[in-house]
C-alpha cells in the first residue's frame, strides 16, 4: 500500500470512529477538528490505488487557476475539462473566486523569490481575504487557503493548509492539486518535488457518504480501481 493510501485510509477511519455527528449547511456530517499528515515523496506518491480519481478535471482546474486570463465564468473551467464548478456559479455562469483573485498577485512573485532567495522563509501564498468573505461577494470562500514553500538543498517542500475538508470527495482532488502546484513551481525554479504536509481543519464525512467510507477502508483493493465508489457532490 502506498504511503498516501495508508495515511488517507487512517484519516477516514479516525473520522468514522472518533468523529462527532453534527449538522452543517449541507446536512449531517461526522467531523473531527483537525488532522495532519505528510507525504514524503509527492513526485511518486500523490495518487490513491483504491480510489479512482478524476485527474483530468483537477488538471483542468489547475490550468484555469494559473491562466493569465481573468477568471470570471465557469465556461473557462469547462474549456479545460473541469466540469464541477457550475455548482457554485451564478445563473449565467459567473464566478468570483479568491482562488484566482488572490493567487495571481502572488504566484509570479513567489516563483521569482524562490529563484533569487531560495532559502528565504517567506515563500507564502495566502488566499484568505477577510473582506471578501465577510461581504458575501465570493462564489465560494477558499477551502485551501495557505501554501508555504520551503527549499532545502535542491528540493521544494510544501505545507498545504485547509480550513475545511470534504474527506471523501474533495481531499483526494486537493492532494493532486497540491502536487500540480509543486510540480509547476519546481519546474519554473529548476528544483525537485519533495514532501508535502497537509494541515487540515474541520475534516468531515457527510452522512450520505458514510456507507461508502466504510467500504473504502474495509473492502477496497487495487482490483476495484475501475469500479469507483459513487459520491454525491456537496455544494
Q: Please choose, from the candidates 38, 192, 42, 45, the residue with its C-alpha nearest in 3D space to the C-alpha of residue 114.
A: 192
Cell of 28: 449531517
What 3-state class would DSSP assign to 139?
Answer: coil
Between CA 56 and CA 103 the distance in angstroms is: 21
For the chain, what's the residue count?
235
Which of 82, 142, 143, 203 is catalytic? The answer is 143
Query: Which residues make beta-bridge pairs with 192?
Result: 155
Q: What is the DSSP letter of 94?
A: B
- Residue 149's H or E segment, with its range, is strand 144-152
Check if 196 is active-site: no
What 3-state class would DSSP assign to 160?
Answer: strand
Cell of 99: 482562488
Residue with cell 485527474: 55
**Residues involved in catalysis:** 143
Amino acid at each position: 500500500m502506498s504511503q498516501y493510501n495508508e495515511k488517507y485510509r487512517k484519516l477516514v477511519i479516525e473520522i468514522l470512529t472518533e468523529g462527532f455527528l453534527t449538522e452543517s449547511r449541507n446536512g449531517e456530517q461526522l467531523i473531527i477538528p483537525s488532522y495532519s499528515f505528510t507525504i514524503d515523496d509527492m513526485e511518486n506518491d500523490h495518487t490513491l490505488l483504491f480510489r479512482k480519481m478524476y485527474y483530468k478535471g483537477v488538471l483542468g482546474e489547475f490550468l484555469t487557476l494559473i491562466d493569465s486570463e481573468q477568471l470570471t465564468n465557469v465556461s473557462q473551467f469547462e474549456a479545460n475539462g473541469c466540469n464541477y464548478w457550475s455548482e457554485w456559479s451564478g445563473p449565467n455562469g459567473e464566478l468570483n473566486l479568491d482562488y484566482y483573485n488572490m493567487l495571481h498577485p502572488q504566484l509570479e512573485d513567489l516563483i521569482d523569490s524562490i529563484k533569487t532567495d531560495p532559502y528565504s522563509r517567506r515563500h507564502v501564498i495566502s488566499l484568505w481575504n477577510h473582506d471578501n468573505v465577510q461581504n458575501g461577494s465570493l462564489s465560494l470562500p477558499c477551502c485551501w487557503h495557505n501554501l508555504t514553500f520551503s527549499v532545502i538543498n535542491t528540493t521544494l517542500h510544501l505545507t498545504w493548509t485547509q480550513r475545511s475538508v470534504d474527506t471523501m470527495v474533495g481531499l483526494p482532488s486537493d492532494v493532486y492539486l497540491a502536487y500540480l502546484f509543486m510540480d509547476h513551481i519546481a519546474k519554473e525554479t529548476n528544483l525537485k518535488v519533495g514532501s508535502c504536509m497537509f494541515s487540515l481543519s474541520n475534516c468531515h464525512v457527510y452522512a450520505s457518504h458514510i456507507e461508502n467510507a466504510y467500504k473504502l477502508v474495509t473492502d477496497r483493493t487495487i482490483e476495484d480501481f475501475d469500479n469507483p465508489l459513487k459520491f454525491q457532490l456537496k455544494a
